[in-house]
Chains A and B, each alone.
Chain A
Amino acid sequence: MRHVPAKTLEPSNEVRDYLAAQEKKSLLRFLTCGSVDDGKSTLIGRLLSDTKQIFEDQLAALERDSRKHGTTGEDVDFALLVDGLEAEREQGITIDVAYRFFATPKRKFIVADTPGHEQYTRNMATGASTADLAIVLVDARQGVLRQTRRHSIIASLLGIRHIVLAVNKIDLVGFDRVTFDRIVAEYRDFARDLGFESIMPIPMSARYGDNVSARSERLAWYQGPTLIEHLETVPVGSASAEQPFRFPVQYVNRPNLDFRGFAGTIASGSISRGDEVVVAKSGRSAHVKRIVSYGGDLQKAIAGQAVTLVLDEEVEVSRGNMLVQPDARPQVSDQFAANLVWFDEQALLPGRSYILRTETDEASATVTELKHRLNINDFGEEAAKSLEMNEVGVVNISTRTPIAFDAFAENRSTGAFILIDRITNATVGAGMIQHALRRAENIHWQSLDIDKRARSDMKHQRPAVFWFTGLSGSGKSTIANLLEKKLAATGRHTYLLDGDNVRHGLNRDLGFTDADRVENIRRVAEVAKLMTDAGLIVLVSFISPFRAERRLARELMAGGEFVEVFVDTPFEECARRDPKGLYARALRGEIKNFTGVDSPYEPPENPEIRLQTIGRTVEEMVDILDDWLAERDKAETQYESGGGI
């Protein structure tokens, strides 16, 4: 085989001119979405092919693969060009989003080809989050389907304002105008409240190329633009440059004592040297002394640029805070309402603690109220106790520390967040903030003169929470009861919170679903915290089956105060003891959601104390706990008096 040198353009001038033209092109990021088999990947293959993005070797590989896995008979199966994972090609479906790049003489494009299956909705959302336009494909034979609606709703919530309604496979309905008009009317009716600026319906056949880049003679009744023509001309927003200045601080750059710069990407607006800025969370102000960049200081920087700002005064700023325009500040709050898309197989549980992350900030957060779930078919509001995977809802969120934000509708960068599971670290949800809740602004911490230290000193003790967790019948209450007697006998001030007892009062409105169990523990943890504030030694005897809530309880307490006691009795032994006759009933199916039977128990991984009850007396186990407390108090006394250091 002889290698033929590639033909080259006339170097220098011609290339430089070409590159200069490239630099002036605008960029449109869009996604293709819609139901399974509506032809998303085929459309992208067609776009790439028509815009000459497919190289000879890729085409050869494609022809090879088409014979092996293709679903289009003798024709080249363009879907195989984007379905890059082996599992995808074997199953003939798209699992995850693929990003593809192409350009026309007018514009550059990044397209996200997203999966249609409901179970992969989170990957569709991933593709949509960075897109300005969505091509919603509809199979002309099928019309508007459930996934068409779900994807449109998610696109709308994620801030996409332009839709192309691609009525695909029009060849299979004989290029019929009536079918097209009916689908368009149905979609427009459904999308009326979704807030799209433009909906452009185009009849097409991605497989044969009709109305993709070339006008179709077979669709002579259609007078509108081809898909490419529309993509080249739809307006793309650079509106963020006109909005108020927002600079989420990402990284404090401090190479030496003489330089302290705040590095970040300008989320919106612009900044010039000398401008006044305000630190969002503290309200302190300063002026911009320098806008540092590698090529030299800048006079001005605009939205989208990654710069380093140096201020003229030493103000307290760290990652997660925001530098903002003094006369147009963001909201700072620890409670707000938001739209939430749920991604995880484990349902969203109100009351459970998650990690909330904005572009640069992070805080513990709980959903305090699930206001309603959105019905995918008609955008209607439905009551719900939890959000299952791929569901969308409106929630109130409370964070442990305040965050700075704007409404998502006003600012896509500073109004978005994700939720992360504390145990698995999975990204479980994506949120779009609507507004701060009034109550957060009006309720401030009262400062009190008698504090926790004063209260516990009066009792001559350090507060603590013994958190007994274990199966029903494992011995939690028996041990806790004897421990309390022993502590009381030595003059200690205690309180025992018992699961059953609390359910008669404070938590009488709660049942035994996962959502209610989470709320049950959250309330008890808050009560225990108040009691430690009163200086008490608190004994909590609750099954508390989930790690996430026990961790929430741990994080509520001060360091060294939380003692997780795992009362470790095997299921068989608990069921044998069955002091209240509950196991027998649960095993007969008479009690639902019984821990260890049809509701899970997640054993602690690193408890402070693990009590294996078999073969031990209650007295022995209580001694272990009492010794632990004595050791802790001894260590603290030494530390406070400076001993041992």
Chain B
Amino acid sequence: MTMALTHLQRLEAESIHIFREVAANFSKPVMLYSVGKDSSVLMHLAMKAFYPAKPPFPFLHVDTTWKFREMIAFRDQMAEKLGFDLLVHVNEDGVRDNINPFDHGSNVHTHVMKTVGLRQALDKYGFDAAFGGARRDEEKSRAKERIFSFRNASHAWDPKNQRPEMWNIYNTRIAAGESIRVFPLSNWTELDIWQYILQEDIPIVPLYFAKERPVVERDGMLILKDDDRMKLRPDEVVENRLVRFRTLGCYPLTGAIESSADTLEAIVGEMLTARTSERQGRLIDRDEAGSMEKKKREGYF
């Protein structure tokens, strides 16, 4: 009898191999947990990679203080259910200066609360490797990144001088202060992620499913009014609409789409006929051309 692995089995095996490579080679790895669907898949794969042991590293959430409330509730619930070690880091300097997406714009907010916050956390704990859930199909600078992506002592990525990455032999050697960002989902597509969530029955934040939610139309996006920190402009009204999110981040920067897809099958069905890419729901990528590459060079995931 000849057996062949299915597409998802191959992707899963590759990701597990990457997880184990990090555990075997680094003294202080961490998994960046962003609470989104890709993080949910990443977490599920980490559980598989080390079973029957627990993943031998903590999970770190860099909280910008502007995440959807449902994301925070889901995060805490998952940490309790799976029993992993959850670290939450907030850039207190940013909080003190009241950095927020409304007054400072997405660029400054993301830089201070996310990129700088992440750098602070990595330095504070001295992590030498950090897993992220980025995929190569998301954005064109990500399409260029290695699975084991080297960062210098100031966390910067040098896209013009990446280490060659041959076969599945990863160069994990670094000097003191340097680190590696590791992307186990590099070769997954958005469809693969949804398909895997469906197949494995992986829990995700309910915001991905359609529901009547209070939204405001602003700058061509539907923004969920998640709390009172969002002040309405004169001509704006809050409307209850049937919406869901294709991607999750800070609520003032994340656009909802109108949709009635309230099951995983319906979400996949909708995606198959979609005509816009996933990251369009994110304001941060539209700020300027090459903006993702710029953020990554500064240390963003």
Residues of A whose CB lies within 8 Å of any CB of B are 1, 3-12, 14-16, 18-19, 22-27, 55-58, 65, 68, 81-87, 89, 95-101, 108, 110, 122-123, 125-126, 129-130, 238, 241, 250-251, 253-255, 259, 261, 263-265, 270, 292-294, 300, 302, 304-306, 308, 319, 343, 355, 357-360, 412-413, 416-418, 420, 425-427, 430
Contacts and interface: CB of A to CB of B under 8 A. Distances in A.
Contacts of B140: 81-84, 98
A57 B277 CA distance: 7
B4 to A, nearest CB: 5
Contacts of A122: 164
Given A85-B160, A306-B20, A427-B163, A11 B277 contact: no
Contact of A15 (B24, B48, B265, B274): B265
Contacts of A294: 47-48, 51
Interface residues of B, number: 80
Contacts of B175: 425
A1 B272 CA distance: 23
A99 B187 CA distance: 8
A18 B159 CA distance: 37
B276 A56 contact: yes
B143 A413 contact: no
Interface of B: 2-10, 12-14, 16-17, 20-21, 23-24, 47-54, 136-137, 139-144, 146, 159-160, 162-169, 171, 173-175, 186-187, 189, 191, 195, 198, 217, 220, 222, 257-261, 263, 265-266, 268-270, 272-277, 280, 289-290, 293-294
**Closest A-B pairs by Cβ, 8 of them:** A84-B140, A255-B53, A9-B269, A306-B16, A294-B48, A55-B277, A425-B173, A306-B13
Contacts of A420: 171, 173
B27 to A, nearest CB: 14
A101 B189 contact: yes
B257 to A, nearest CB: 7
A308 B51 contact: yes
B164 A241 contact: no
A10 B269 contact: yes
Contacts of B24: 250-251, 319, 360
Given A253-B53, A358-B169, A306 B17 contact: yes
A75 to B, nearest CB: 19
B159 A96 contact: yes
Given A19-B198, A241-B3, A55 B276 contact: yes
Given A81-B140, A108-B7, 8 more contacts: A55-B277, A99-B143, A241-B4, A251-B24, A253-B52, A265-B17, A304-B9, A358-B169
B52 A255 contact: yes
A552 B160 CA distance: 31
B114 to A, nearest CB: 21
30 contacts: A9-B269, A9-B273, A12-B263, A16-B265, A23-B8, A55-B275, A57-B280, A85-B159, A85-B290, A86-B289, A86-B294, A87-B159, A89-B290, A95-B159, A98-B140, A99-B144, A100-B143, A126-B165, A241-B4, A255-B52, A259-B53, A292-B51, A293-B48, A302-B3, A304-B9, A358-B169, A417-B169, A425-B171, A427-B171, A430-B164
A22 B195 contact: yes
B171 A7 contact: no
Given A253-B53, A308-B51, A11 B263 contact: yes
A84 B293 contact: yes
A81 to B, nearest CB: 7
Among B49, B142, B168, max chain A CB count under 10 A is at B168
A391 to B, nearest CB: 15
Among B47, B141, B169, B187, max chain A CB count under 10 A is at B169
